[in-house]
Amino acid sequence: MKELDREAHDADAADPLASFRDLFAGAETELVYFDGNSLGRPLAATAGTLSDFVRDAWGGRLIRGWDESWMQLPFTLGDRLGASVLGAAAGQTVVGDSTTVLLYKLVRAAFDAQRAADPARREIVVDRDNFPTDRYIVEAIAGERSGAVRWLTPDPAGGVEPDELSAAIGSETAVVVLSHVAYRSGHLADAAELTRRAHAAGALVVWDLCHSAGVVPTELDAWGVDIAVGCTYKYLGGGPGSPAFAYVATRHHEALHQPIPGWMSADDVFAMGADYRPAAGMRRFLSGTPPIVGMLALGDMLDMIERAGIAAIRAKSEALTAFAVRVSDVLLAPLGVSLATPREPERRGGHVTLSHPAMREVTTRLWREDVLPDFRFPDGLRIGLSPLSTSFRETLTGLRAVADALR
Ligand SMILES: *Cc1c(COP(=O)(O)O)cnc(C)c1O
């Protein structure tokens, strides 16, 4: 087993991003964090950002803060996300609401626009393994708009593949809703190809980027993506309940009408006029007052991502998941653990899922020992490896604890 220790040591020594780990609060402890794909660790600097905000911005500028910067923050942060993480030119990304709410607003807007253009398009396509929120929203929209759901049933240890999608779409498809990285298996969808297939059938695609934003680069503009949403509290480190982001390609802005119009999405916010007219650009997808306090940590994390570069983050992510698979093959496979994630690094996102019937009990025990993975029904232990805050040594220590717990 000395071999694995040496590999972890050498990988940390060669890691160009290793020093970023020291910037996270709590990284100096022995705790092993395998859940940065559910809630990223905070940056130590964010404590200062928050207290400065209370004292100087909120406390000092008071209501003037809205005019001076807060009204623009959802768009400036959105543009930074677009440039550093999403592959989106400015003016197409906004931060606000939750992923659930943005998915609802945008899937419904896309459905209505498609249906208005062609009444035969009444189906929304989604997969049975998609995140619950995505499935519930698709079912709700189909119900309230007299549409229908068409289900895909991908391999639970994989995800939606282009041919499976092609077989399910056609002249009745309005919208396709897919996750870029499957939350259970970690499967990385071929978003460019799936988008191309959907467009060939006349459908629009809404991508859920929750498990890829900040760890797997996307090229939303180059791939011709229509709409995407994602959360900021996972790999983007925005903190518990930080708001989500939405991307809508410029070519769709005019035609999309979201179902929760509010004063913040009106064309002249402070005119407070009698009739609602949607704003031009991404503002039309907001509803009410944006959650400014909830966006502050995201700004700090974007500073880091801009410095590190998303390509380097992805390279380390692939190395970390490959190391986790290697350790699992050596230490856990002999104990009956199987890999429920694609084996090729380029076909998965930032986490690895390990299956064994005892994983629920294993998780409970590990949490007591300050080793924090998470459990996903029915028998999956998710090992989330956040590249800026996770070391190879930490990965080895945590997987050894899994082996001990199983024994
Ligand atoms: C985490 C996650 C969500 C969360 O949605 P919220 O509205 O932030 O609770 C949605 N979709 C996927 C794929 C996720 O992984």
Q: Of 21, 105, 184, 234, which is the active-site residue?
A: 234
Give burial (CB, 10 Å; 0-12/13-18/19+) of 110.
buried
Ligand 1, atom 8, residue with closest C-alpha: 99
Place of tokens 């992923």: 99
Distance from Cα 87 to the centre of ligand 1, integer Å:
21
Strands 204-208 and 227-230, by their bridges, are parallel
Query: Which residues, at least 6 apart from 310, have a Cβ–Cβ distance to it below 8 Å?
Result: 84, 85, 214, 217
Q: How many CA atoms lie within 13 A of 101 on its CB side?
A: 14
Does any ligand 1 atom lie closer than 6 A to the CB of residue 131?
Answer: yes
Cα–Cα dist 289/274, whole Å: 19
**Pocket test residue of 128, 130, 177, 210 for ligand 1, highest count of atoms within 8 A of CB:** 210
Whether 277 is a known active-site residue: answer no
pLDDT digits (tens, 9 = 90+) for 286-335: 999 999 999 999 999 999 999 999 999 999 999 999 999 999 999 999 99
- pLDDT band, very low/low/confident/very high, at 1 (cuts 50, 70, 90): low
Could you say which DSSP state residue 263 is in?
A: G
Q: Does the structure show a pLDDT above 80 at 123? A: yes
Does the pLDDT of residue 272 top 90, yes or no? Answer: no
| 275 part of the active site | no
The active-site residue, picked from 33, 34, 104, 131, is 131
Average pLDDT over residues 147-162: 96
pLDDT digits (tens, 9 = 90+) for 168-183: 999 999 999 999 999 9
Q: Is the CB of 229 under 6 A from ligand 1?
A: no
Q: Annotated catalytic, 104?
A: no
Which helix (H) or strand (E) element contains residue 11?
Answer: helix 2-14
Minimal-distance CA residue to ligand 1 atom 1:
210
Quick check: CB of 208 below 6 Å from ligand 1? yes
> Is 392 marked active-site?
no
Q: Is 173 in the pocket of ligand 1 (CB under 6 A)?
A: no
**pLDDT tens digits for range 348-357:** 999 999 999 9
Equal fold, 2-44+309-406 vs 69-305 = no
pTM: 0.98
Tell me the best of 37, 39, 95, 99 to mutate to test the pocket of ligand 1, counting ligand atoms within 8 Å of each CB and taking the most. Answer: 99
Mean pLDDT of the region 66-89: 98
Q: Is the pLDDT of residue 102 over 70?
A: yes
pLDDT bucket at 271, cuts 50 / 70 / 90: confident
Q: Which two tokens stand for residue 280?
A: 């031009």
**pLDDT, average across residues 10-38:** 97
Nearest alpha carbon to residue 77 among 358, 306, 284: 306
Range scoring the smallest mean pLDDT among 109-118, 127-136, 268-277, 365-374: 268-277
Phi and psi for 80 in degrees, rounded to 5?
-65, -40
Q: Which of 208, 226, 300, 374 is catalytic?
A: 208
Q: How far apart are CA 341 and CA 35, in angstroms?
A: 16
Report yes or no: 376 and 395 within 8 Å, Cβ to Cβ.
Answer: no
- How far is the centre of ligand 1, averaged over its atoms, from the C-alpha of 29 (Å)? 29
List, in sequence order, every residue forming a beta bridge with 282; answer none if it has no partner: none
Average pLDDT, the chain: 97
Active site (annotated) includes residue 208: yes
> Does the C-beta of 211 come closer than 6 Å to ligand 1?
yes
* Contact (Cβ atoms closer than 8 angstroms) between residue 348 and residue 158: no
Q: What is the dihedral of CA 256, 258, 264, 265, to 10 degrees?
A: 20
What pLDDT sits at residue 109? 98
Query: Which residue from 103, 102, 78, 105 is spatially nearest to 89, judged by alpha carbons?
Result: 78
Residue 183 CA to residue 348 CA, distance in Å, equals 11
Cα–ligand 1 centroid distance for 132 (angstroms) = 8
Asked whether residue 227 carries a pLDDT value surpassing 80, the answer given is yes
Residue 232 beta carbon below 6 angstroms from any ligand 1 atom: no
Task: Round to the nearest angstrom and report the end-to-end CA distance of the chain.
Answer: 16
Domain spanning 2-44+309-406: CATH superfamily: Aspartate Aminotransferase, domain 1 (3.90.1150.10)
The encoded tokens of residue 370 equal: 């300050």
Domain ranges in the chain are: 2-44+309-406, 69-305
Q: Is 163 helix (H, G, I), strand (E, B) or coil?
A: helix
Start-end of H helices in 129-190: 132-144, 162-168
Give the Å distance between the CA of 255 and the centre of ligand 1.
Answer: 26
In angstroms and rounded to an integer, the radius of gyration of the C-alpha atoms of the chain is: 22
Domain 69-305 of CATH type 3.40.640.10? yes
Tell me, in angstroms, the distance from the centre of ligand 1 to residue 320's CA. 23
CA atoms within 13 A on the CB side of 333: 9
- Is there an atom of ligand 1 within 6 Å of 49 CB? no
* Closest approach atom of ligand 1 to CA 231: 8
Counting ligand 1 atoms within 8 A of each CB, the residue from 102, 130, 133, 180 with the most, and so the one to mutate, is 133
pLDDT at 273: 86
Rounded Cα distance, 313 and 17, in Å: 8
**pLDDT at residue number 254:** 97
Ligand 1 site, residue 135, Cβ cutoff 6 A: no
Contact 210 CB / ligand 1 (< 6 Å): yes
Which spans in 15-63 are helix H?
46-52
Categorise residue 29: left if φ over 0, alpha if ψ from -120 to 50, beta otherwise: beta
Distance 258 CA to ligand 1 centre (A): 20
